[in-house]
Amino acid sequence: AGDIAAEVVGSARVLLEAERTALNLVSHFSGIATLTSQFVETVRGTRARICDTRKTTPLWRKWDKYAVVHGGGENHRMDLSDQILLKDNHIRLSPTISAAYLSVKEKNLKSLPIEVEVDTLDQLEELLEVGVERVLLDNMSPETLRKAVAISAGRTVLEASGGVNLDTVGAIAETGVDFISVGALTHSVTGFDFSLEIEMDFDDHLDKPNHRVM
């Protein structure tokens, strides 16, 4: 508390006009970086890496994800063009989960990474038989996640997701999953508290005083 994050020199009118917008942005992005850092620190010593989701503020995704990286986390996918993620609604359009994966893989002309969401260990086993690249384990308990890690035995990348918070992320990380995606990093963050203080400098420029922001 009381630390100076930055100093800016300029016209008082301009500084005051920009004050609230600037503080809102800095507060929001610093809040994301701070929360991400807390998650990263909580899982330190495990193999798990913390990543974000696409649950970002409209028009601010690039900057939300930039803040995650500064907090020590990793970006999942920026948009739909980065990676294919087959979720429950996509899978329901095919007779089986493996059929959904193989159909998309066949049509994947850009060779994008493919990840498939599963709700059960049976679905995981079915996907392992067809060589799935990455699996999202949705809303599974730590006990079930451990079983998933054992079943996979290193054959695919495993990502845990769903209802992750600072109270649960440690136990999730200890199961041995590779990634933990946390939507709360960007959709439920509390802004970091910043304030703006103006100081007048009359000594050097008596006719046109500078205004320093701290």
Give the pLDDT confidence of 91-135 residue by residue, as tens digits.
Answer: 999 999 999 999 999 999 999 999 999 999 999 999 999 999 999
Q: In this model, does residue 53 exceed pLDDT 70?
A: yes
143-147: Cβ within 8 A, 24+ apart:
145/172, 145/175, 145/176, 145/177, 146/175, 146/176, 147/121
Catalytic residue among 117, 126, 159, 178: 117
Could you confirm whether 117 is annotated as catalytic?
A: yes
pLDDT at 203: 64
pLDDT at 192: 87
Q: Which ranges of 2-131 would DSSP assign to H, the alpha helix?
A: 12-42, 61-70, 88-91, 97-107, 121-128
Catalytic residue among 17, 20, 44, 199: 20
Could you confirm whether 155 is annotated as catalytic?
A: no
How far is Cα 183 from Cα 113, in angstroms, rounded to an integer? 20
Q: Are 132 and 101 in contact (CB under 8 A)?
A: yes
Structural domains of the chain, count? 1
Residue 40 located in a structural domain: yes
Could you confirm whether 17 is annotated as catalytic?
A: no
Phi, psi at 199, each rounded to 5°: -120, 135
How far is Cα 178 from Cα 157, in angstroms, rounded to an integer? 6
Can you give the pTM of this predicted structure? 0.88
Residue 30 located in a structural domain: yes
Catalytic residue among 19, 74, 119, 138: 138
Could you confirm whether 147 is annotated as catalytic?
A: no
Which DSSP letter does residue 133 get? S
Q: What is the CATH number of the domain that holds 62?
A: 3.20.20.70
Residue 195 located in a structural domain: no
- pLDDT-derived band at 205 (thresholds 50, 70, 90) equals low
Other CB atoms closer than 10 Å to residue 73's CB: what's the count? 25
Could you confirm whether 138 is annotated as catalytic?
A: yes
| Residue 64 or 212, more confident | 64
Residue 27 located in a structural domain: yes
- Domain membership of residue 37 as a residue range: 8-81+122-187
CA quadruple 169, 173, 175, 179: dihedral positive or negative? positive
Residue 213 located in a structural domain: no
Catalytic residue among 44, 47, 87, 92: 87
